[in-house]
Amino acid sequence: MRYALFPGCVLRGAASEAFLATVKVTEALGIDLVEIPEWTCCGASHMQDVDELTSLAINARNLAIAESMGLPVMTVCNTCTLQLRRAKAALDSDPELKAKVNEILAAGGYEYKGTSEVTHLLWVLASNPGLLDGKVAQPLNGLKVAGYYGCHLLRPPTVMNYEDALNPRSLEKIIGLLGAQAVDFDYKLKCCGFHAFWTAEKDVMQVTGKTVDNAAKAGADLLVTPCPLCQMQLDMYQPEGREAANSKAELPILHLPQLIGLALGMKKEELGIQRHISAVDKIRF
């Protein structure tokens, strides 16, 4: 099993621990990752606010490089997945647009064909649960895990159509395969607010606090998310969130590959968990 990895800016910057964990875990599971050379930022759901065509072209370029590698694309960030899939959906459904974008790409010597699919680590695992067979050396028995999907892996459902956006099950499935118990909580499909941090700060802090509080009240020992942006928001701003939501809850927030790594028997230091801000000590592995 081989993928062209699109790591995205966050994994190569503030959430480098997620990159570390992704590499270790995929290695252990026998998933071969080749980083897309010379990839650029996906626009992070902001660049299209300036110019949609540029945003499309930039992502078409990323996809074109993966196509030349002959590999499907895998990401570990919700927003990167959305941006790449959105570009792909737009180009694949509109031959005129595709031709136009290809004229633009020609300026850099690229061509978008539409031959590489775009997926996310969570989807790869949920579709291939056999990858975990015999690998769970340290089952997370007794651990109560709140699986937090984040928006962009589910919505808009026309583009992110891996599973039912209103009742997704993939994260719970993986949590279960790792031996932990998935905790259902009201905020599991809500938005962490990351993308509006600068414009609606008060609201964002409040929802950060409420999300953590809600997961804690549902009995979770920790929260796991397939999105490094959600992780950053819920982890880094937990102190401000607590204040805004008038909550006392303190919860470790893990990247999905970190939780898998723990179940595979890796130590929390190996997975970069000490780089997190909130409740790191509560992780006992």
Q: Which of 30, 95, 108, 134 lies at the binding interface for other proteins (CB under 8 A)?
A: 108
Residue type for position 94: D
DSSP category for residue 270: T
The nearer residue to other proteins, 26 or 48, going by C-beta atoms, is 48
User: HSE of 202 in the Cβ direction (CA atoms, 13 Å)?
Assistant: 0
Instruction: State yes or no: residue 218 binds other proteins (CB under 8 A).
Output: no
Residue from the set 1, 53, 99, 137 that interacts with other proteins by CB under 8 A: 53
User: Tokens representing 36?
Assistant: 């897309």
Dist CA 189 CA 149 (whole Å): 6
Among 20, 21, 33, 58, binds other proteins (CB under 8 A): 58
In the bound state with other proteins, the residue whose beta carbon lies nearer, of 29 and 55, is: 55
Q: Judged by CB under 8 A, which stretch of 27-35, 112-120, 187-195, 254-262 contacts other proteins?
A: 187-195
- Residue 201, C-beta contacts closer than 8 angstroms, at least 6 positions apart: none
- Please state, in angstroms and rounded to a whole number, the distance separating the CA atoms of residues 126 and 122: 6
Q: Which stretch binds other proteins (CB under 8 A): 55-63, 113-121, 124-132, 259-267?
A: 55-63
Count of residues in the chain? 285
Nearest approach, Cβ of 180 to other proteins (angstroms)? Answer: 21
Distance, in Å, from the CA atom of 161 to the CA atom of 159, rounded to the nearest integer, reads: 6
Select the span of 98-106, 173-181, 246-254, 255-263 touching other proteins (CB under 8 A). Answer: 98-106
Q: What is the largest CA-CA distance in the chain?
A: 56
Nearest one of 180, 241, 176 to 212, comparing CA atoms: 241
Residues interacting with other proteins, by CB under 8 A? Answer: 9-10, 12-15, 38-41, 43-54, 56-58, 61, 100, 103-110, 151-152, 154-158, 164-167, 190-191, 193, 195-196, 198-200, 202-204, 206-207, 236-237, 239-240, 274-277
